[in-house]
Amino acid sequence: MELNQPHNSESSGTLLNAFSPNSFVDEDAGGLRDKYREGLSLDEELIKIETSVTNSPGRRVQPQAAPHKHGPLPVTLEIETENGEHFALQSKSFTVVQGVNGDLSFSNEGQPEAWAASVVVNPNKVRMDIRFKVSYLGLSAEDALVITRFSQALSEGGTFRIIGKILNTDIDIPIVTGSIPAGGYPGPEERWIKTIERLALIESKTGVRITIPEAEITVDDLRNIANTAHVLKTGHATYNAEPWTSVSNREQASAALESFANGEPVQMALHYDEQEVVILGARVPLGPVTLFCDRSVITEEDIKTLRSDIESKTPDAQFTIRYTPLENCPIEARYIKWLPEDEAAVLRTYPMFQKKPGDMPTSNSGEPKAGATAVDETTANDLAAKAEEPLMTEDEFERYLVAKGIIAPVPSPADEDADDDDWEPVMVTGKPLSEMVIEERR
């Protein structure tokens, strides 16, 4: 949809409980409702993989009287897929045991880590058994994504390596290499892969840590995550058309009554300086949002209520105005912080981004920001006039602040320099000032 300047009115009061990412119109093929009919459980059982060893310690291992145990040691598990991609997990808590039958075991089970692996290598039989388990609970989205991609690579199969370090160095050395067949490990389900990729995107773009919860990730959570990630990638969202409520001052309420009293649909542009969503308990800021609705009305019943409120309430009262979009008229949202630069540049020319001094920020979180007042609601002619007005110069802004009594008049540089030619230094006697300062410090 190509957005034009709103033709009829702009409203920037406080938006109450009308829009959230869960009400976005999903743009993915199939729709979120089809894909996310059920929530997502993160329980993952211990998986065992049997595979062949292609490179072992290099000689046939002889039985011995007692097992030898080493560790904890730093070990890296690496999987290289058929297309050459490498995925790895690192741990400093591996124990290595050489058994009496010549088996070598590598394990970090029982350690306080999000994943646990136990690898038993039998060089004599050229076989390797891998046990792998993951617990995502309490991880950040970024850490969970690393483990998810490793698990996904295991399921695709490829070359598996156990990599250690040469003693007292940081030099890596392959210890065991094996071949894992595709499908030998089931791996994470596709919904989880998509979800964790979206969570990591949200986390990286907003800087807000998102922690994987103990509870099941619900259907609403999945929709919320998917649509929020879409906003951060594109700066666009389409909301389902539903009535919304704005809290406005008397001037705004009177302007709304005048614009909507004849019952004709009006094009609306609503701007809010901040929108937040809650993702798995974390508050995620999306920044400013501008909402466009091509055809909205105030119903006859709501007009009567608004007129009655204007006649009966005190001048400083707040007025609740209910706007109703017409059927089949979706609401287009633009998030300027996440838009491509060319689209953002166009949006910055709109009146809501050219506020004059004294305009105060509002929020759509359900309550006005501290000390905030709503921006004036205007008709189409007012919007056009504001769009043509140039922004204040620095001198004009200074004069505005002086006129409001916010600052005192500041002498111009020309007045300050007028007497520079007559200036002479004052002659003083006695010790130099520098010596006096040194003596006082002693």
Rounded Cα distance between 246 and 269, Å, is 12
Rounded Cα distance between 306 and 319, Å, is 8
Q: Judge whether residue 15 has pLDDT over 50.
A: no
Q: Judge whether residue 257 has pLDDT over 50.
A: yes
Assess contact for 299 and 257: CB atoms under 8 A.
no
- Is 35 strand, coil or helix? helix
CA nearest neighbour of 352 among 20, 13, 1:
13
- β-partners of residue 73 are 94
- Is 332 strand, coil or helix? strand
Residues in the chain: 442
Q: Residue range 225-232: average pLDDT?
A: 94
Sign of CA dihedral 70, 72, 73, 79: positive
Burial of 23 (0-12, 13-18, 19+ CB in 10 A): middle
Please state the domain extents for the chain.
Answer: 9-32+217-387, 47-187
Q: Residue range 286-303: average pLDDT?
A: 90
Sign of CA dihedral 251, 252, 258, 259: positive
- β-partners of residue 97 are 69, 105
Rounded Cα distance between 36 and 195, Å, is 11
Q: Residue range 39-56: average pLDDT?
A: 54
At 245 the pLDDT is 81
What does the DSSP 8-state code read for residue 48?
E
Q: Judge whether residue 206 has pLDDT over 90.
A: yes
Rounded Cα distance between 365 and 358, Å, is 22
- The pair phi, psi for residue 287, each rounded to 5°, is 85, -165
The identity of residue 130, as a single letter, is: I
Rounded Cα distance between 77 and 126, Å, is 19
Alpha-carbon distances, residue 310 vs 31, 305, 317 (angstroms): 44, 9, 9
At 197 the pLDDT is 96
Question: pLDDT tens digits for 297-312?
Answer: 999 999 999 999 999 9
Rounded Cα distance between 195 and 212, Å, is 11
At 280 the pLDDT is 93
Strand-strand pairing, 68-80 and 158-165 = antiparallel
What does the DSSP 8-state code read for residue 29?
T
Assess contact for 100 and 65: CB atoms under 8 A.
yes
Q: Which of 188-192, 218-222, 304-308, 350-354 has the lowest mean pLDDT?
A: 350-354
Q: Which of 26-30, 55-59, 228-232, 332-336 has the lowest mean pLDDT?
A: 26-30
DSSP letters for 55-96: E-SSSPPPP-SS-EEEEEEEEEEEEE-TTS-EEEEEEEEEEE
Question: pLDDT tens digits for 122-161?
Answer: 877 678 888 888 888 899 999 999 999 999 998 899 999 9
Determine if the peptide bond prior to 6 is cis (ω within 30°): no
Radius of gyration (C-alpha) of the chain in whole angstroms:
33
Assess contact for 253 and 71: CB atoms under 8 A.
no
Q: Round the average pLDDT of the chain to a whole number and report it.
A: 75
pTM exceeding the 0.75 threshold for the entire prediction: no
Assess contact for 176 and 105: CB atoms under 8 A.
no
Assess contact for 128 and 54: CB atoms under 8 A.
no
Assess contact for 278 and 404: CB atoms under 8 A.
no
At 404 the pLDDT is 52
Confidence band of 399 (pLDDT split at 50, 70, 90):
low
At 186 the pLDDT is 81
Q: Residue range 10-23: average pLDDT?
A: 44
Residue 3: CB atoms within 10 A of its CB come to 15
Rounded Cα distance between 433 and 258, Å, is 73
At 38 the pLDDT is 55
